[in-house]
Amino acid sequence: MTTQHMDLSRIIEETSKGIGFSGVIGVKAGEDLIHSSAHGYSNRADEIMNTTETKFGIASGCKLFTAIAICQLIQKGKLRFDSKLKDCHPIVFPDFNQNVTIHHLLTHTSGIPDYFDEEVMEDFEELWQKNPMYHIKRLKDFLPMFKDEVMMFEPGERFHYNNAGYILLGLIVEELTGLEFSEYIDKNIFLPCEMKNSGYFSMDQLPKNTALGYIDEENGAWRTNVYSLPIKGGADGGAYITTSDMFRFWEGLFSNQLLNQAYTNLLLKPHIATEDKGDYYGYGIWISKKNEAIFKYHLMGYDPGVSFNSAVYPANRLKTVITSNESTGPYHITCAIEKEL
């Protein structure tokens, strides 16, 4: 390990200790794993520690899986980026603009109403007061929460992060393949990448070595997030991964195991500028530029009791995976790593 890598590892350890981090941190330089550490409890009540092979929820971090599934279907000729939503699914959306395309949905530029608009509603938990989370088991279960609402803006007008758009993309995967969405991802993404410990697990049937998510109250009390999220994740978020599986995923994506070179390039292309200067969105993936060059491709996910950051830094040949079973943490560690870069 180089001196620079040792310094990076030391900074990660200091930062994680300073913020009381709970989760797993993995860093690879090229093929070499230069940092791997587990912190905190996967189960606080029974004082079971997290390990480097613990499974964690990654919230919206798995929108990229949905985007890849759509690109695989386009690569096979079953769909086009300019296919209109109204031609892809029999569901009727009475007040949606007829010109919404697959490209709009992938890039959060569709303008369709969202079931959870982060600019309007601060707390994801509020959603389940009227819609019990234990009823949300399939993608179609989300539809009553947005399908009869009105458009927010014209398709293509601007970037506005949208979860409902990815629910619709998942429904299109189901329509075109005849498979349940999670089954398609298992067979066409997790299996080729040998992600044997990853999946869309139901919260009432979590497998062995899965971290429970924790929400910390201001008064020092805590509770699990079992009543704060849909019972099973889907096309807009909620898969579980291990750190090593996430590295396998990145390696599979960048070696064209999931898409051919042309479609991998399209997936990773900065299609739309986001609200933050220097930040762009590809298909299911965030892209940051510095001096007009790609600084990083990255994923992030935040739910009550879940936080996740993972990035690929092409110029540094560095990959990071940071999973947590608390609502914060990975962002601070990512900032510390990038400061060192």
Parse the chain into domains and list their residue ranges: 3-340
List the single range of 2-6, 125-129, 153-157 with lowest mean pLDDT: 125-129
Looking at every residue in the chain, the average pLDDT score rounds to: 93
Task: Supply 331's token pair.
Answer: 């962002």
- Identify the CATH homologous superfamily for domain 3-340: DD-peptidase/beta-lactamase superfamily (3.40.710.10)
Question: pLDDT-derived band of residue 341, with 50, 70 and 90 as boundaries?
Answer: confident
Pairwise CA distance, residues 73 & 87, whole Å = 15
The tens digit of pLDDT for each residue in 209-267 reads 999 999 999 999 999 998 888 889 999 999 999 999 999 999 999 999 999 999 999 99
Q: How many CA atoms, within 13 angstroms, populate the side-chain half-sphere of residue 215?
A: 14
| Nearby residues of 87 by Cβ (< 8 Å), 6 or more positions away | none
Report the residue count for the chain.
341
Find the Cα–Cα–Cα–Cα dihedral 226, 230, 233, 234, rounded to 10°.
180
**Residue 88, amino acid:** C
Chain center to CA of 165: 14
Chain center to CA of 183: 17
Question: pLDDT-derived band of residue 2, with 50, 70 and 90 as boundaries?
Answer: confident
What are the start-end ranges of the H helices in the chain?
3-18, 63-75, 85-88, 102-106, 163-177, 181-185, 243-254, 261-267, 330-340
Question: pLDDT-derived band of residue 278, with 50, 70 and 90 as boundaries?
Answer: confident
- Secondary structure (DSSP) of 105-132: HHTT-S----SS-TTT-S-GGGGGGTS-
Which pLDDT belongs to residue 340? Answer: 87
Which pLDDT belongs to residue 121? Answer: 57
The tens digit of pLDDT for each residue in 131-148 reads 665 667 789 988 988 999
Task: Supply 302's token pair.
Answer: 């935040």
The tens digit of pLDDT for each residue in 92-138 reads 999 999 999 999 999 999 999 998 665 655 665 566 566 665 667 78
List the single range of 14-18, 65-69, 108-112, 135-139 with lowest mean pLDDT: 135-139
The structure's pTM equals 0.95
| pLDDT over 70, % of the chain | 94
- Whether the Cβ atoms of residue 321 and residue 246 lie closer than 8 Å to each other: yes
Which pLDDT belongs to residue 123? Answer: 60
Which pLDDT belongs to residue 227? Answer: 85
Which pLDDT belongs to residue 127? Answer: 60
